[in-house]
Amino acid sequence: MAIFSVYVVNKAGGLIYQLDHYAPRADTEKTFSFPLDLVLRPHDERVVVAFGQRDGIRVGHAVLAINGAEVNGRFTADGKDVLEFLGNPANYPVSIRFGRHRLSSNEKLMLASMFHSLFAIGSQLSPEIGSSGIEMLETDTFKLHCFQTLTGIKFMVLADPRQAGIDSLLRKIYEIYSDYALKNPFYSLEMPIRCELFDQNLKLALEVAEKAGPFGPGS
């Protein structure tokens, strides 16, 4: 719970592995009757709450499911436009699930390559020569730690700001990569990692690191 995600980026900046390790955000599902007291509007490919925060439903939350069926962007599971559907009193009472939108895999790919470029900018901006790239990015809700190997692969871990021992976790992830991904002869270098053993061992390592808590791993 204190380690949120792991990203592995290859030499060219492409995302080859991604794992989300946090508990699912609290989604809120409620039954509504016509008229809806929340104001919804389309945003990118989703329908979000623009106004009318209540009961755990906050501004910015997206419509995740209607009547139990997950929505597909701006359309319901059976292809109807969400806003039209919710504007029609005949469809009520309706049960809608709201929650924070999770990143799609395309978005993650894009963000990973953006980070790859920013990482390089970090070393170029430096007043000293031979500086490394961005090693840590801090926000108020998480810290992103990045470790680049001598061969150009980057391992990134997003964790709680108070979580310690991330450096050794990054080295451990490198070991797990060199074992379960590279020693698998059917895995081609620089390609997306689809190795069960890698997944399992990575999750184990994350759990060990989390148990150690804010004091870092024990002996």
Chain contacts with another protein (rule: CB under 8 A): 11-12, 119-120, 122-124, 129-133, 148-153, 171-172, 174-175, 177-179, 182-183, 189, 201, 204-205, 208
Least Å distance, CB 116 to another protein, is 8
Smallest Cα–Cα separation from 19: which of 204, 211, 214, 208?
Answer: 204
Tokens representing 86 are 């919710």
DSSP letters, 72-108, are BTTB-TTS-BHHHHHH-GGG-SEEEEEEPPPPPHHHH
Least Å distance, CB 12 to another protein, is 7
Least Å distance, CB 197 to another protein, is 11
Return the C-alpha torsion angle 43, 49, 50, 53, nearest 10.
-160
Least Å distance, CB 95 to another protein, is 44
**Rounded-to-integer distance, Cα 127 and Cα 132, Å:** 11
Least Å distance, CB 163 to another protein, is 18
Q: By C-beta, is 88 or 131 nearer to another protein? A: 131
Q: By C-beta, is 7 or 119 nearer to another protein? A: 119
Contact yes or no for 65/96 (Cβ under 8 A) = yes
Tokens representing 3 are 């380690």
Q: By C-beta, is 142 or 177 nearer to another protein? A: 177
Q: By C-beta, is 105 or 151 nearer to another protein? A: 151
Q: By C-beta, is 18 or 201 nearer to another protein? A: 201
CA 114 → CA 11, 98, 110, 152, distances in Å? 13, 29, 6, 16
